[in-house]
Amino acid sequence: MPHPSIFDPPYRLELARPEHASVIARLSRDRVEQGLGWSWRVARVGRAIASAQSNVVVALGPAGAVLGFGIMTYGDDEAHLQLIAVRADQARRGIGRAIVQWLEHTARIAGVGLVWLEARSANVEARAFYRRLGYRELERMPGYYQGIEAAVRLGKDLWESPARPALPAPPPGTSDDPGA
C-alpha cells in the first residue's frame, strides 16, 4: 500500500452515484438555497446524476462521506455551473476549488470553452471565490432567484485560462530554438 503524502488531499473526487442524491439535495437546501425554497430536491439531483448532459461530482472523505459536490450542465460549446456546495465543517480546505477545477477540466475535454454561473448578489464571499478562480462578473440580474433576490452572472473563458498545461520547450538544436 503506498504511503500517503502530505500533499494528498483527505478526500477524493468522483462522479456522483444515485445513492448520493439525498445528501447532495440536503447540502443544496442547507448551503445554497436557504431562504429561497428548496428546488434541488432528491428527484432533481437524481435526474442530473443520470443525465448525459451533466456531470455531478462529489468530494468523498476517507470513510466515503460526501464533503461537497458540484453540478455542471453542458451545451455544444458552453457549460453552466448549476450548483456547488461544501459542508460547513469542511469549508476553506480547497474542496470547492478542486470541484470547480475538476468540472472545468471535464468541460475542456468535451470541447467546451465557456462556463457560466450565477451567485447571489449579496453573497460577497462566493463572488470573491469565483473571481479568485478566474471568473468575471458580467451582469447583475434583479429578482433572478424566484423574484426574491438578485444574482450576478459570472463567466470564464476556459481557452484563455492559464490552467491549460504549457507545451514543453523544443529540444536544443531544433529550428524552434532561438539559439540554433
- CATH number of domain containing 118: 3.40.630.30
- Position with higher pLDDT, 124 vs 9: 124
Tell me the average pLDDT across 70-84.
95
Is 179 part of any domain?
Answer: no
**What is the pLDDT at residue 112?**
93
Q: Which phi and psi (to 5°) does residue 12 adopt?
A: -130, 150
Is 165 part of any domain?
Answer: no
- Position with higher pLDDT, 18 vs 92: 18
Is 74 part of any domain?
Answer: yes
Is 164 part of any domain?
Answer: no
The 3-state DSSP class for residue 75 equals coil
Listed residue (128, 100, 125, 126) closest to 115, CA to CA: 100
Cell numbers for 119, please give them.
451567485
Residue corresponding to grid cell 476553506: 92
**Model confidence at 4: pLDDT above 90:** no
Is 140 part of any domain?
Answer: yes
Asked if residues 115 and 152 have their Cβ atoms less than 8 Å apart, the reply is no
Q: What is the rounded CA–CA span in Å between residue 44 and residue 128?
A: 28
Q: Report the number of distinct structural domains present in the chain.
A: 1
Domain that holds residue 54: 12-157
